[in-house]
Amino acid sequence: MSIRVLLADDQALLRGTFRLLIDSCADMEVVGEAADGKEALELARAHRPDLVLMDIRMPGTDGLAATAAICEDPDLAGTRVLVLTMFETEEYVAQALRVGASGFLGKYVTTDVLLAGIRTVSSGEALLSPGATRALITRFLSAPAAGTLLTPPERLSDLTPREREVTVLAAEGRSNEDIAAHLVLSVLTVRTHVQRAMTKLGARDRAQLVVIAYQTGLVRPTSGPR
């Protein structure tokens, strides 16, 4: 089955370019185009895409508000959001992760990186490098605004010791392969632990699992894992 993509960008030329690029891939197809966040939400509910390629700065409802609405909608639980923007600031990345985005790319990326990013995010993985993950979480997500906790800290007690260990390492920005080598486990076993931790903590994807790890205090930038 092909990856069904919804494009959300206020620039028609860019949407057309992205459509040509994505539709040229045998494993992808564009199912709709939105010029603002409000339209993106409406089309997401109508088409139930696997992934929304979302710009941040759009007239009216911006990309962050649209991302939040999509990620909060239980009927769109299978839809991932990949933010693609010219404004690749740390604050924007942090805000995008807080509201549920699964990945973040600058519009300067190559076509190969963009297509690989779509495949990565649609599969449920986070699209952030280890360095970017640590920097962003440390600076912004470790001290969330009031009322932004994704899951209560007491839910951490649902995790097994191994699931906590794997979650901590994921929060450090390590890939499944890195975690497997560090713990002397198979990649499949690590993936299973990550999936179970996500389920227990109510995380949509790996990016949100990382946010939860810091927001609940499982990992703290200044003191290390608890």
Cα separation, 157 vs 88, whole angstroms: 36
Positive or negative, the CA dihedral 51, 99, 169, 107 is: positive
Q: Please determine, for residue 87, whether its predicted confidence score (pLDDT) is greater than 80.
A: no
The torsion angles phi and psi of 148, rounded to 5 degrees, stand at: -105, 5
Higher pLDDT, 84 or 81: 81
What is the predicted pLDDT for the residue at 95? 79
Pick 44 or 124 by higher pLDDT. Answer: 44
User: For the whole prediction, is pTM greater than 0.75?
Assistant: no
Q: What is d(CA 135, CA 11) in angstroms, rounded to the nearest whole number?
A: 30
Average pLDDT over the chain, rounded to whole? 83
Query: For 129-140, what is the mean pLDDT?
Result: 53
Residue 224 pLDDT class (50, 70, 90 cuts): very low
Q: Are 98 and 136 in contact, with CB atoms under 8 Å apart?
A: no
Q: Which two tokens stand for residue 220?
A: 């703290």
Q: Mean of the pLDDT values across residues 146-156?
A: 62
Question: Which residues, other chains included, contact 188 with Cβ-Cβ below 8 Å and sequence gap of 6+?
Answer: none
* Nearest-angstrom CA–CA distance, 57 and 190: 37
Read off φ and ψ for residue 211, nearest 5 degrees.
Answer: -60, -45
Going along the chain from its start, the domains and CATH numbers come out as 3-127 (3.40.50.2300), 139-225 (3.40.50.2300)
Residues 100-124: tens digit of each pLDDT: 888 888 787 889 989 988 998 888 7
pLDDT higher than threshold 60 for residue 150: no
Is residue 145 scored above 60 in pLDDT? no
CB 190 within 8 A of CB 183: yes
